[in-house]
Amino acid sequence: MSIATRTIRIGSSNGLHARPAKLFAQAVKDAGVPVTIAKGSGAPANAASILGVIALGAEKGDYVTLTAEGDNAESVLDTLAELLTTDHDE
């Protein structure tokens, strides 16, 4: 089983508030592989948890690190990276 890690810059102009956090957490659940998200040197949170994602307090321009574990970890991170770099507040 492979593990993939990627650092991504938040694109939503209001950061990871309720709407983009919900879209992101739902995409993680749909991916079917375990994914964590961490901001800076903070503890990683379950990326499928809306509350865990919001609790990071990630703002526009902040960097977060995603880690996925599974056979298709790289492709899952490709999809999630696109979600996080998109401005959902336009």
Q: How confident is the model at residue 16 (pLDDT cuts 50, 70, 90)?
A: very high
The pLDDT of 56-82, averaged and rounded, is 95
Domain ranges of the chain: 3-85
pLDDT of residue 89: 81
Question: What is the pLDDT at residue 90?
Answer: 74
Residue 44 confidence (pLDDT): 96
The residue behind tokens 């990326």 is: 47
Catalytic residue chosen out of the listed positions 17, 23, 34, 62: 17
Q: What's the full length of the chain, in residues? A: 90
CATH superfamily to which 3-85 belongs:
HPr-like (3.30.1340.10)
What pLDDT is recorded for position 45? 96
Distances (CA, A) of 89 to 10, 11, 31, 46, 84: 12, 9, 24, 23, 12
Asked whether residue 9 carries a pLDDT value surpassing 90, the answer given is yes
| Cα end-to-end distance, the chain, whole Å | 38
Query: Would residue 17 show up in a list of annotated catalytic residues for this protein?
Result: yes
